[in-house]
Structure 1
C-alpha cells in the first residue's frame, strides 16, 4: 500500500485530493433480516477474517506513514454503513463461504426457529466503510 500511496502522490498535483475508502474491520458487520415493514433488523454478527485484519492494519500503517512523512495531510475522515443485499439466507451464506473478508459463520442473535422461518426472506450484510480525504502536500 505504501507503493500505491507513493504513486498517488506522484500523479496528484499539489493540493490534489485522494479519497481512501476501505472496509472498516474495527467494527463488526451484521447479518440483517428484512422485516415485513420493509426495514432491516440485526439477526447476527459477522467478524472479519484474521488474514484481512492483518491486511487492514498494514493499510492503516501505510496511510499513517504517508501522513507522518508529509506526503499527504488528512482533511477529514469518517465512516458510513453499506448494505449488500441477498434474496434469501442461503444466498447470504454462500456469499460468506466464498468471501475472504469475513469469517464464514455468523454469530446469531436470534434462535434457530426464527432463522428457519426467515430462510426465504430477503437478507443483507451491513458493513462499515472507513473513508479519509487526503490532500497532497
Structure 2
C-alpha cells in the first residue's frame, strides 16, 4: 500500500439553522463496510495515541470535536493531516503507520473500521513495520 491511497474524504453536510447534519455510509462515502466504531476522548494535553499499523484493517478517522494531528507513513514517506471538522475525515488503508498528537482540549476522534478487533492484525513495533513493508 502507498501513502497516496490515504486521502481526505468530504462527507455530506446538510446545513440547517437548527444545526447541521453529516452522515457516513460504508461502501458509499468510504471504501469499506463498517464493522466497528470506536472513539478516543479525554486525551490529556501533551499525550499522543496510535504508534502502530494494521496489516489488513481499513479505517476512516474523523475529528468529531476539537482537533488533532494524524501522521501517516507507508515506510517510505510520511504526511501529517490536521483534522478539525466533523464533515470530513481521512481514509487510512492497511499497512500505514499512524501517530496521533496535538489534541485540542475536548477533542474527540472517531474511527470506523472494516473489521472487528483483532490483536493479531496490529504491528506495534516500528522496526517490525519497516521490515514487513520493505520485505
Please tell me the TM-score bracket, short chain as reference: under 0.3
* Structure 1 or 2: more strand by fraction: 2
* Structure 1 or 2: more helix by fraction: 1
TM-score normalised by L of structure 1? 0.27
With a CA cutoff of 8 Å and minimum separation of 6, indicate the structure with the bigger relative contact order.
1
Rg larger for:
1
